[in-house]
Amino acid sequence: MIRPLCLSLKRILLSLPVIGLAACTLYLGGPQPPPTPTPGASEVPFVDQAWRDAIAQSAGGQVIVIFTQEQLTEFLNLRLSAQPQSRLKSVHVILDQGAISLYGTLEAADLSASALVVLRPLISDAARLTLEIDTLQVGPLQLPAQSMSALSQALSEVLTGEVASLATGFQVQEVLVAQGQIAIRGELR
């Protein structure tokens, strides 16, 4: 009698972690952003306003706009919060050494994982800004960059979408990414 009770108690105790996992989200780990100060929303001017200001102040059709990583972080998080179906949460942008690094949390069903996407800005033959995915890591997995071309196109729109709607014929001439900033120089045609 005591023996079967001990086996039953043992089975119950061993099954508790499995039952607990079913009720919780399982975090798979992954890359973490380096610590950087993040200003409050009132300190960050909106990205679309920066484009309008740059176009209004353009001299001879030359437009230069500079964004900080804090501005882009705030902008992307506002965009993502407006899309409840988005699985990417808590985005943090790092701009340095010619690359745009996006850290965030990817959530699907009862799983979540930290994610890192490293993008390299390029200028196409048509003088448009494009972003090429250099690195894609979700949790402990390194994924092929080709699998995320849609994400790359969407992020290109974040950086140039306002210009396309405000001034058709904008041609990108130069993109520099360093020390927490991205500068985009182009010409209105």
Q: Indicate if the pLDDT at residue 172 is higher than 80.
A: yes
Confidence of residue 181 (pLDDT cuts 50, 70, 90): very high
**Domain boundaries of the chain, sorted by first residue:** 25-187
pLDDT of residue 182: 93
Confidence of residue 27 (pLDDT cuts 50, 70, 90): low
pLDDT in tens, 87-131: 778 889 999 999 999 998 888 777 788 888 899 999 989 888 888
Q: 60-64, 99-103, 116-120, 168-172: which range is least confident on average?
A: 168-172
State the chain's mean pLDDT as an integer: 75
Average pLDDT over residues 27-42: 62
pLDDT of residue 152: 64
Average pLDDT over residues 69-84: 83
Q: In Å, how far are 103, 124, 158, 160 from 121, measured between CA atoms?
A: 17, 10, 13, 12
What radius of gyration, in Å, describes the C-alpha atoms of the chain?
Answer: 22
Q: Indicate if the pLDDT at residue 57 is higher than 70.
A: yes
pLDDT of residue 16: 45
pLDDT of residue 179: 94
